[in-house]
Amino acid sequence: MTHPVDDWLKQYMTPFLKNAGFKKQGRSYLRDMADGGEQRILVQKLNYPVLPEVEFRINLVSAPKIFLEVRKNRPFSSGLGLWWGPLVCPQEFRGWLNNDDWIFDASDAVMAASLGAHMEEKLKETYLPLLDQLADPALFEEELRRPVWQLPGKPHPAALGLTIRQQRQSDEVYPLLREAQSQHPQWSDWPDLWAYLESLDHPPHSAEAVPVPAVTDDEEEVGFSFTGSLVICKTDKSLGEIEALTSRDEGLEGTSSLPGGWQLGQYYGEDIEREIADVLVDLVAETGSPAMSGFVWDSECVLVSAYSEQAGLWRACLDREAGTRMLQEECDEDINDMYLPADQAAERAVKWAEEAGLEPIAQDLHDVFHADKGEGQADKLFFDLTFALGIQTRH
């Protein structure tokens, strides 16, 4: 059974956005920009089980090429762009806990049609003209000279500086970036940003950067939560050509190439997770190598599933405390009935990695399965797991 939001998107959003130059990619829509950047309309945070009420969120992102380059090894997300903003929900469809969440009764055709009309009106009158502005390189020469960014939405200050650097090839970017870093030290991309600029400039300016302090509980990076699957496998094919994945989901939302021929694919929603055991078995049969998935649940915890021919299927949870709470509250399930304890998970992960021809770090695996990353940070634990498994290495 398809998710009701998929049916709704196909009927009410896809034709309209196709005429505006967007192409559908999974549950999202993509449009290329003249500078090589991207604009995306992301459909996120689908609830599960899905009936009768359907809850989802739509974010709009405009990311110039230079910002994509800085974050090229990270999955595309709503916080990636120079500008992002939610498509604001009208009162009658607004979620109880978050005004950016859309809720409607999937069994009510009249309500679905009304929602489609509201959505098209907002896109046509407000958001598509704004995205058209952001796609025009001439905008920045005028807009970035102003002391305050005057477009609606939430641009990242570092992205403004990067755009100035790209547009003007001017050193005036560096004081702006240092000031932005002092005001937003918790942003995790600062090291990548300075390294990227260092690769462009001689002499490098990174020595003047403000040191990046550790993130405290009171200053965690603010961003949208993410619900979806991060799938890792080793293959020479494009993930878009892997039948084990394409047969369960309309398409990839983002990909990353990892060392040694490993690839990571990002899928929004629950389509992959619903059939995760069969997905992994088919994926291993198709690629001939062990495979793993991390279902990121509202960025609060990660439900890890892994399969290899010798070690078989095993499941574990990253940020187990959050996972225990969410499984109990949302599904009335006991985590111990479904997911291995942390110590056993670390042991199975070692065997999985060794079967994959990797060199895992046992202590790091122990640490990551025992870690509590904090509210809204669980997806980062999955990337820590890739290092502990030996898929990625720290230099």
Phi-psi region of 356 (alpha: psi -120 to 50; beta: other; left: phi over 0): alpha
- Whether the predicted pLDDT of 141 surpasses 70: no
How far is CA 61 from each of CA 29, 115, 206, rounded to the nearest angstrom? 10, 21, 28
Helices (H), the chain: 4-8, 14-19, 65-70, 109-122, 128-134, 138-143, 157-168, 173-183, 190-200, 243-246, 271-274, 276-287, 320-326, 342-355, 362-370, 378-389
> Residue 127 and residue 120: Cα distance in Å, rounded?
10
Can you give the residue ranges of every domain in the chain? 4-134, 138-208, 228-389
Query: Which pLDDT band holds residue 147 (cuts at 50, 70, 90)?
Result: very low
Tens digits of per-residue pLDDT, 14-31? 888 999 999 887 778 889
Of residues 221 and 116, the one with the higher pLDDT is 116
**Distance between start and end Cα atoms, the chain:** 45
pLDDT, tens only, 338-355: 899 999 999 999 999 999
Q: How far is CA 315 from the centre of its chain?
A: 22
What pTM was computed for the model?
Answer: 0.49
267 vs 279, higher pLDDT = 279
CB 29 within 8 A of CB 21: no
φ, ψ for residue 147 (rounded to 5)?
-70, -25
How far is Cα 24 from Cα 13, in angstroms, rounded to an integer? 10
Q: Report, as an integer, the average pLDDT of 308-324.
A: 91
Burial 331-351 (b: 16+ CB within 10 A, else e): eeeebeeebbebeebbbbbbb
Contact 217, 374 (CB under 8 A): yes
**Integer CA distances (angstroms), 351 to 89, 237, 313, 361, in order:** 47, 25, 12, 11
Greater model confidence, 175 or 349:
349
- 255 or 72: whose pLDDT is higher? 255
Residue among 143, 152, 33, 151 at smallest CA distance from 88: 152
Which structure tokens are listed for 50? 């899905």
- Residues β-bridged to residue 263: 233, 257
Longest dimension (CA), the chain: 63
CA 303 to chain centre: 16
Q: How many CA atoms lie within 13 A of 162 on its CB side?
A: 28
CB 23 within 8 A of CB 246: no
